[in-house]
């Protein structure tokens, strides 16, 4: 279906670009934060077997996973606050004007790879700044099955928050396990600065981590849809979807 954004701009809703990672119960599922692979187990109770292959009437499985460690997820300030805030209560709208930017992280003197603010500034667009999506290089499809635990993956310099503030960005999406360094003594400086915690927690902003944007998707402006399970939790598994503006 063609959906018109203006007299001259439209999207084809039948041509979505899924930039999420699926959840699968095996060693090939992406992982971070030292979690084991997700598990999906057949329910067995009082003679009931939740498996058609084993003679049951339905497939009926328990699923065990961690939103932060097992794939694409969207989180709110409740991730780092004493108070319990749910991302399901924060994300009330689902379509946003978004900018996709590809960057090659810079290597620091300590060996860390970090995305810097000056790498984003030339590519920002004031009209399409409700959401910013970052694809980092290299962009191997192996990102979808990596175990990031203990690898000190790429992260994002806190100065980027000033750029996001200047452009009014509400949703920041990245293809790494975290916007912060894997081991930073619990400082999580990007998270705290972005959400203004603990001073005045921002209840409108989200961060989405562990996305994957294929190389075939070109940088530029899109309409972003954030599909999300209605978890009453600081984070929820999510499915960000891009629509090309034509």
d(CA 69, CA 209): 10
Asked if residue 120 belongs to a domain, the reply is yes
Cα–Cα distance measured from residue 103 to residue 80, given in angstroms and rounded to the nearest whole number: 27
**Which residues form the domain of 167?**
2-23+68-244
pLDDT reported for residue 236: 98
Residue 5 is predicted with a pLDDT of 81
| Residue 32 in domain | no
pLDDT tens digits for 133-173?
999 999 999 999 999 999 999 999 999 999 999 999 999 99
Give the Cα separation of 154 and 227 in Å (integer): 25
Residue 188 confidence (pLDDT): 98
Strand, helix or coil for residue 115: strand
pLDDT at 10 over 90: no
Cis upstream peptide for 115 (omega within 30°): no
What residue ranges in the chain does DSSP mark as E strands? 2-4, 10-12, 17-18, 39-42, 44-45, 48-49, 61-64, 73-75, 95-103, 106-107, 113-115, 131-136, 155-156, 171-174, 206-209, 220-228, 235-244
Q: Residue 182, SS3?
A: coil
Global model pTM greater than 0.85: yes
* 125 is a domain residue: yes
Using one digit for the tens of pLDDT, what is the confidence trace for 31-58? 999 999 999 999 999 999 999 999 999 9
Alpha-carbon distance of 27 to 43, in angstroms, equals 21
Q: How many domains does the chain have?
A: 1
Q: Each residue of 203-219: pLDDT tens digit?
A: 999 999 999 999 999 99
Residue 61 in any domain: the answer is: no
Omega of the bond leading into 138 within 30 degrees of 0 (cis): yes
| Token output for 142 | 């192996």
145 in any annotated domain: yes
pLDDT given at position 3: 82
Asked if 190 and 180 count as a contact pair (C-beta separation under 8 A), the reply is yes
Domain membership flag for residue 33: no
> 2: pLDDT confidence band, cut at 50, 70 and 90?
confident
Asked whether residue 175 is domain-assigned, the answer is: yes
Kindly report the CATH number assigned to the domain that includes residue 205. 3.50.30.50
- Summarize pLDDT for 218-235 with one digit per residue, the tens: 999 999 999 999 999 999
Tens of pLDDT, residues 176-185: 999 999 999 9
């Amino acid at each position: 279906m063609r959906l018109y954004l203006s007299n001259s701009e439209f999207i084809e809703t039948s041509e979505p670009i899924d930039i999420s990672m699926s959840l699968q119960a095996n060693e090939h599922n992406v992982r971070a934060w030292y979690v084991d692979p997700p598990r999906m187990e057949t329910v067995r109770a009082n003679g009931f077997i939740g498996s058609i292959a084993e003679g049951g009437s339905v497939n009926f499985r328990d699923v065990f996973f961690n939103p932060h460690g097992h794939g694409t997820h969207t989180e709110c300030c409740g991730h780092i606050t004493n108070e319990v805030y749910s991302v399901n209560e924060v994300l009330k709208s689902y379509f946003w004007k978004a900018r996709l930017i590809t960057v090659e992280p810079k290597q620091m003197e300590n060996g860390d790879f970090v995305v810097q603010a000056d790498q984003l500034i030339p590519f920002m667009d004031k009209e399409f700044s409700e959401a910013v999506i970052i694809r980092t290089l290299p962009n191997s499809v192996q990102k979808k099955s990596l175990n990031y635990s203990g690898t000190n993956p790429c992260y994002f310099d806190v100065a980027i928050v000033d750029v996001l503030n200047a452009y009014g960005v509400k949703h920041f999406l990245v293809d790494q396990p975290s916007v912060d360094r894997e081991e930073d003594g619990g400082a999580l400086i990007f998270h705290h600065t972005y959400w203004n915690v603990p001073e005045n927690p921002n209840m409108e902003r989200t961060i989405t981590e562990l996305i994957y944007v294929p190389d075939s998707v070109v940088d530029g402006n899109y309409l972003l849809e954030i599909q999300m399970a209605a978890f009453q939790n600081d984070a929820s598994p999510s499915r960000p979807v891009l629509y090309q503006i034509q």
